[in-house]
Structure 1
Amino acid sequence: MSLGDENGYGSGSGRTDDGYSTIGGTRQTRTRLPDGEGGDGYSTPRRPARNSRSLVTVVGVVVLLIAAIAFANMGGGGADGSGGSGNGGSKPDSSSTAATGTKPVTGKNGSIPTGFAHDEQGAQSAASNFAVALGSVGMFNTDTRRSIVEATHDPSVVESLLVAMTKAYSPGFLENVGLNEDGTAPSGLTFVSRTVPVGTKVVKQSGDTATVEVWCTGLVGMAGQGSTKPVTATWFTISEKLKWVGGDWRIESSSQTEGPTPVNGDNRASTADEIAGAVDGYGGFTYAR
């Protein structure tokens, strides 16, 4: 594996020294509140969309919240559940939400699940959990980053990948995203970096190899009073090439593309304190899919 293929570390990765830059000129639709509304850290004029999403993009490059389901009951209201709007369009296939019938894994490598099934379902579960781990705050600390990479990647690529990541998570980069040199958040602020899988798709699977795409949404930014980099949502798709190694799936290489990105809803942006409280009060997923 060459680092040019791994996680966007090639010459065409588009990565810049700006921690909030983006790859490929990402465009994201967002709702802007009137300037001055509210008394929180989000009341100042919004930065250009380019500057508010890139941290998750960078996390994807290194490896590598949520659209409201407003139309779920659209047109409903009839007693028979058929709705009152006439033709409601095609319905989602039942398999998209059906239970898989296979029990979740019980093993863990540190905080990361292990022991995935040696089939398409297992590959999808592995890819989802790897995306969660590689998009976490732990990636910004040298020690925990090594543990995460070792638990998710083919051992043959770990050391070379860590060398590239050390360069990517430089003191200058950490400063650009608002962190201290050791990857910790300044006093009084909470750094947020979470990746949440929305869906998975097996692009190719044969024996001991599989390519899985994971459609994700993510939260990234700094929560707390005085934050100049408020927490925002972003959408991206991670493509993971997996290999069956030592009785489990591991990442051999990966890449990331932007979107698909849904239209933002009209939800009011929460205050800095509300976001910080939510991050502290709601733990991240320990098992995806």
Structure 2
Amino acid sequence: MSLLPVISLGLLASQASACPGLAKRQSVNQTIVREERDWAYEASYDWGRLRPEYELCQTGTQQSPIPLRLDQGLSRNHIPHFDYPTDVTGDFYNWGFGPAMALSHPEDDWTTLPSMTFDEGGVNETVYLASWHIHAPADHTVAADRSKAEMHFVHVDADGHERVVLAFRVDPGNAPSTFFSNVPEYTTFNDTTQRSIDGINVNQALNEVQMFNDFWTYRGSLTSPPCREGMRWYLARQILFVSDTQMQDILRVCTYSARAEQEVWGHQINQ
């Protein structure tokens, strides 16, 4: 999970459309000013040397992503409970590496967004779905297998700080994905425009991985500089399958965005 899709929320906040219905091609709303990066995914092994504030990328004890295995079992802790509406509004754009969407909300009020509750240290904690974006190939591997893409649902706390990521592995299957069938036409990987959309049903993505009823979870970090820790990661056991055409459409507008997997250390997998 990169920091960029979340910090873009203020820039990308849109006026909600009054038009009902599922998302379709929308008119261009505005142009995004992209931040210049001094790091690259292809050289993620050396991020800690680029700037002092990136040091955690090198020294952190709970860095993401990590390799996961079937023989680790699945989690029975931190069970997520979702309160997602049937449609959301927001801005669809390309975050420089692939498709992304920032959800609309009143300024500085994150609590109006779709919510998820889980237990942490015996206390229920609620977080809010602020954005989603796609990495290609997948950040995580399971049993040494890497999916063609990985979608991240990024949740923030009430103050807007990134706290939880739901990770969906995405691979080609035998039928189209309902969720991706209702996502707008993809922008090209170098397109800097955004489109205001409404009517996206984020529950469809949850349904296609059986509502995260089976998952791995661990304590991790952002997957791009400054690699801040304190994140809780959920990776669905079920793969979100898409049609061949949908997979090709996703990959066509993506550029390489997988951080090198990190050594397991203080991640407390499934604990």
Please say whether Structure 1 and Structure 2 have the same fold, judged by a TM-score greater than 0.5.
Answer: no
Q: TM-score, normalised by structure 2?
A: 0.29
Larger radius of gyration between Structure 1 and Structure 2? 1
Larger RCO (CA within 8 A; separation ≥ 6): 2
Give the TM-score of the pair, scaled to structure 1.
Answer: 0.28
